[in-house]
Amino acid sequence: MRSLFSAKLYVVCLKKCRLTGIICGILLIVCNALLPLWDLLDTLAGSFTVTPVTVDRSLISAGLFLLLPLTAIMLLSAFFYLFRREQSDFYFSLPHKRLCVFLCMLAASFTWLWGAMLLSLLLDALLVLLNPSTVFSALPFLRTFGFFALLSLQIGGFTSLAVTLTGTLLSACVVTLVLRYLVPILYGLTTLFLDELVPMLDRTKTWLRFFGPTYWLGWGAWGLSPQEDPTPSQHPVVAGMAIALYVLAAVCYCRRRSEMAEQSAVSRVLQQAFRCAFVLPVVLFAAFWLVVRKSVTGCIITLLFAAACFLVYELATVKNVRRALKTAPLFVLPVLCGALIAGGCYLTRELVFSHTYAPDEIESVRLYEVRQRGLFSSHSSSRVFEYEGPPMKLVFTGDAETLRLTSDALDECVRSFRESGEYESASKIHAVIRLRNGHTAYRVLLPSYAEQIGLMDAYEAAPESREVFLRLPQAEEIQSVTVTYTYLSYTDGTHTASAKIPAEDLEAFWTCYAAEYASADEETQLYVKKGEFTLQENRNHLLTLQITGETAQGTFRNQYCVPIPFKESRQYLLRLFPNE
């Protein structure tokens, strides 16, 4: 262990990074203090009284996004010696193992960065404490620190790998961007291709999804806000990816030849790879013009731009016109890659178009709509479920009408797209189609409004759907139940009171409620699960339950009614909350 880390060397590295660390720290602290300071001054200056609310994470973390580029800058600065011969020789001549130098430099960099982040959050905490409109809570601060520490760790991984693979600052910056953004950009462009060429394909079920935001956590903070940070189960994945990057960077650092300083890459092969990766997104865009938009002009212009980028990058890195021109023919490589991707998408389109399914080929089908939320999406079972109901087990129906309408919708989509290249649709409905031959197809139906109504009516009326829809959550799946009592007073108007059912009474109440629900007729059950209720329907006394819970499929939130016929349940609640 001694050979892996040296406290003295760590202190040397801390001092080496001091100037950059202080600058980054000042920027971070000042930028992140602006919003809470603004809020504080606004509150103090305002003449209105405010109800204090628990501090929101967006208040204390808006400026911390600066940490991400600062992490890259800090590491580029710390490892700048790899880009200069005399500095590289000096650090490699020190009597420490290379891995030790690498780890000490990393540790020093992150000490400055996370130290600045800690100071920033402490300052924000002070501002929050002074602010009469906010209530201090430690949890948002801890979560914010953890979130940004994780993201900066990941960015640092990309940067440290880039500096070990390159020998100049310019190429290190470019490679950092390539490592960080190439996959998301290629993913975005490929999905653009697929969305335009074959909108009927459910790409969230293809292998492509592993490079999307849900899985490829190299996206980091792309599209995320602190409210939407990765779920706790994704944190280990992000951390694991970061550790893998550092391990790779450490290996490259230890194997790096000192004489690579001032060369754009540690090998010619890597130099060519970086060059190709740099222009690949532009080439892909050129292919988009040609394949999707059928614009030869657009394609040519974009290709020329890509070629110019290719040449400029080479000129800037090798600093020799003759050598740069000699490598010009290698531009064919990214063009080939782009052609492969575009060609693959085109082939996929033909495959999807040629495979529409007759009703007798389909065994069962499941339909759902997808709600977009940032770049993360959640499924809802169907349009009937206004609230986020309990995530349904996969409700497949073999109802003949549903299968027929599904097949017709798919045929119509393909026909319309083949004829005009367009489609008219009110919405997108995802369909999981189980075929009689044992295969499963994932499609997106693009029905017109009338088709959508017909299809979803048939699906929801199918016995399997109805059965699941009418099912209540199990008691063990429920985490909390809040009762809301609303009544209309002709003198005072509408009154509302809420109370949470105590945990010790939850099971007993739910057993009673579920029993009354089970004995009710289907019409009453449908009413109970409707989710929206009026006072008039309930003779001006409305009892509703807001239920949250978790199943194997995920969390849910429902709203049910306690109608007048549910006498025992209503009595139970009256006993629990006599005053309300």
Partner 1 sequence: MIQAENVTMKFDDFVALNQLNCSIPDGCVYGLVGSNGAGKSTFLRLISGVYRPAEGKIEIDGHAVYENPDVKKQIVYIPDELYFLPQASMNRMAKLYAAVYETFSYERFTHLTQTFGLNPTVNINTVSKGMKRQAATILALAAQPRYLYFDETFDGLDPVMRNLVKNVIYNDVVERKATAIISSHSLRELEDTCDQLALLHKGGIIFESDIQNLKTSLFKVQVAFSDTYGKERFDGFEMLDYTQKGSVATFIARGDRDAFREKLEDMRPLLLDILPLSLEEVFLYEMEALGYAFKDVL
Sites of contact with partner 1 (CB under 8 A)? 3, 8-9, 11-12, 15-16, 19, 84-87, 89-90, 92-98, 100, 254, 257-259
Closer to partner 1 at the Cβ: 11 or 26?
Answer: 11
Closer to partner 1 at the Cβ: 16 or 366?
Answer: 16
Q: Give the residues across from 544 on adjacent strands.
A: 484, 561
The distance of closest approach from Cβ of residue 258 to partner 1 in the complex, given in angstroms and rounded to an integer, is: 5
The distance of closest approach from Cβ of residue 277 to partner 1 in the complex, given in angstroms and rounded to an integer, is: 23
CA torsion, ordered 112, 117, 121, 122, to nearest 10 deg: 0
Residue 231 CB coordination number (10 Å):
10
Closer to partner 1 at the Cβ: 80 or 114?
Answer: 80
DSSP 335-398: HHHHHHHHHHHHHHHHHHHH----GGGEEEEEEEEEEEETTEEEEES-TT--S--SPPP---B-
Beta sheet of 541-551, edge-to-edge order: 493-500, 478-489, 541-551, 554-561
| Separation of alpha carbons 47 and 101, rounded Å | 57
The answer for residues whose C-beta is within 8 angstroms of residue 77's C-beta and 6 or more apart is 17, 20
| Separation of alpha carbons 309 and 325, rounded Å | 13
The answer for residues whose C-beta is within 8 angstroms of residue 62's C-beta and 6 or more apart is 32, 35
Closer to partner 1 at the Cβ: 254 or 336?
Answer: 254
Give me the half-sphere count of Cα atoms (radius 13 Å) on the Cβ side of residue 320.
7
Q: Give the residues across from 487 on adjacent strands.
A: 495, 541
The distance of closest approach from Cβ of residue 94 to partner 1 in the complex, given in angstroms and rounded to an integer, is: 5
- Which pair of structure tokens corresponds to residue 26? 């000042």
Closer to partner 1 at the Cβ: 165 or 260?
Answer: 260
The distance of closest approach from Cβ of residue 440 to partner 1 in the complex, given in angstroms and rounded to an integer, is: 54
The distance of closest approach from Cβ of residue 81 to partner 1 in the complex, given in angstroms and rounded to an integer, is: 8
Give the β-pairing of 134-135 and 53-54. parallel
Residue 436 CB coordination number (10 Å):
11
The distance of closest approach from Cβ of residue 90 to partner 1 in the complex, given in angstroms and rounded to an integer, is: 4
The distance of closest approach from Cβ of residue 119 to partner 1 in the complex, given in angstroms and rounded to an integer, is: 24
The distance of closest approach from Cβ of residue 253 to partner 1 in the complex, given in angstroms and rounded to an integer, is: 12
Phi, psi of 448 (to 5 degrees): -75, 175
> What's the gap between Cα 275 and its chain centre?
29
Closer to partner 1 at the Cβ: 257 or 393?
Answer: 257
87 contacts 257 by C-beta, under 8 angstroms: no
Cα end-to-end span (Å), the chain:
65
The distance of closest approach from Cβ of residue 178 to partner 1 in the complex, given in angstroms and rounded to an integer, is: 24
Give the angle 459-371-58 at the CA atoms, nearest 5°. 155
Closer to partner 1 at the Cβ: 11 or 564?
Answer: 11
Closer to partner 1 at the Cβ: 93 or 534?
Answer: 93
Give me the half-sphere count of Cα atoms (radius 13 Å) on the Cβ side of residue 486.
18
| Separation of alpha carbons 340 and 344, rounded Å | 6
| Separation of alpha carbons 316 and 175, rounded Å | 14
- Which pair of structure tokens corresponds to residue 487? 């009544």
Closer to partner 1 at the Cβ: 259 or 580?
Answer: 259
Closer to partner 1 at the Cβ: 8 or 418?
Answer: 8
Closer to partner 1 at the Cβ: 92 or 527?
Answer: 92
| Separation of alpha carbons 536 and 533, rounded Å | 9
366 contacts 397 by C-beta, under 8 angstroms: yes
Closer to partner 1 at the Cβ: 164 or 364?
Answer: 164
The distance of closest approach from Cβ of residue 85 to partner 1 in the complex, given in angstroms and rounded to an integer, is: 7
The distance of closest approach from Cβ of residue 67 to partner 1 in the complex, given in angstroms and rounded to an integer, is: 24
| Separation of alpha carbons 174 and 265, rounded Å | 11
Closer to partner 1 at the Cβ: 96 or 275?
Answer: 96
Give the angle 313-318-319 at the CA atoms, nearest 5°. 95
The distance of closest approach from Cβ of residue 87 to partner 1 in the complex, given in angstroms and rounded to an integer, is: 5
- Which pair of structure tokens corresponds to residue 529? 């699960």
The distance of closest approach from Cβ of residue 96 to partner 1 in the complex, given in angstroms and rounded to an integer, is: 5
The distance of closest approach from Cβ of residue 276 to partner 1 in the complex, given in angstroms and rounded to an integer, is: 21
Closer to partner 1 at the Cβ: 92 or 423?
Answer: 92
